[in-house]
Amino acid sequence: MNFHKNIILLILIIIFPLNTYAEQSVEEIIKGRKSLFNKNYKTAKRVDILSKNLEFDDAKKYMLVMQNNYLELLKYFPDNTKEGFGTQSLPTIWENKDEFNALMQKSADDLIQLASLIEEVEDIRGTLKKYMWQNCNACHSKFRKPH
Ligand code: HEC
């Protein structure tokens, strides 16, 4: 009897901190991706203003910062982060993971495209829309809760 109690106690001692740790890291992941999206929003506004001011060198730098963030974001949607901590992510992400990842990758690739052609185009506003802003809506309309 005592032996069993000790075993159970031992298991609890081992599992409890692991659980707490897992819980924390879900929180870190969800907060981490929110923070990356917020950064990308700020960076996108910067890219927009710099491009319209014809400051292409700086604009391109920030396009590549965004591109990197998108690639980083690919790692921020593991299966155990579907809910909690105020996530606005929809379950559709995990039901269509390939499509979601492809859209993230496309958003990253489009920024490389944007950086390569922004200096040459006539229609800066339309080009920013096509290669940067449209990807936000394309993804949010299917994969993010209405807010
Ligand atoms: C491939 C999908 C995808 C793309 C592309 C994308 N987003 Fe999001 N975005 C999401 C998802 C999913 C969430 C919800 C994250 C969560 O709360 O778990 C989100 C959340 C956000 C948030 C809220 C963060 C918070 O604090 O809750 C902002 C702001 C945001 N996105 C801005 C943008 C902007 C601006 C762009 C384009 C420049 C963009 N996103 C492109 C999928 C995307």
**Cα of 35 to ligand 1 centre, how many Å?**
9
**CA 87 to CA 80: how far, in whole Å?**
12
Q: Are 91 and 123 in contact (CB under 8 A)?
A: no
CA 147/CA 145 separation, integer angstroms:
6
User: Ligand 1 atom closest to Cα of 88?
Assistant: 17
Nearest CA to ligand 1 atom 35: 41
CA 124 to ligand 1 center in whole angstroms: 23
Quick one: residue 85, left, alpha or beta (phi over 0 = left, psi -120 to 50 = alpha)?
left
Q: Which CATH architecture has domain 26-143?
A: Up-down Bundle (1.20)
Structural tokens at position 1: 């009897």
Q: What pLDDT shows up at residue 5?
A: 78
Residues in the ligand 1 pocket, defined by CB under 6 Å: 30, 33-34, 37-38, 40-41, 44, 87-89, 100, 103-104, 107, 132, 135-136, 139-140, 143-144
Task: Label residue 64 exposed, middle or buried (CB < 10 Å: 0-12, 13-18, 19+).
Answer: middle
**Residue 15 has what pLDDT?**
63
- Report the atom number in ligand 1 closest to the C-alpha of 35: 26
**For residue 14, what are its two tokens?**
């081992």
For the chain, the structural domain boundaries read 26-143
CB proximity list for 64: less than 8 A, separation 6 or greater? 111, 112, 115
Residue 37 CA to ligand 1 centre (angstroms): 5
DSSP 8-state code for residue 89: B
Residues of the chain with pLDDT under 70: 1, 10-24
Q: What pLDDT does residue 72 have?
A: 97
**Contact status, residue 88 vs residue 144, Cβ threshold 8 Å:** yes
Separation between Cα atoms, residue 14 and residue 8, nearest integer Å: 10
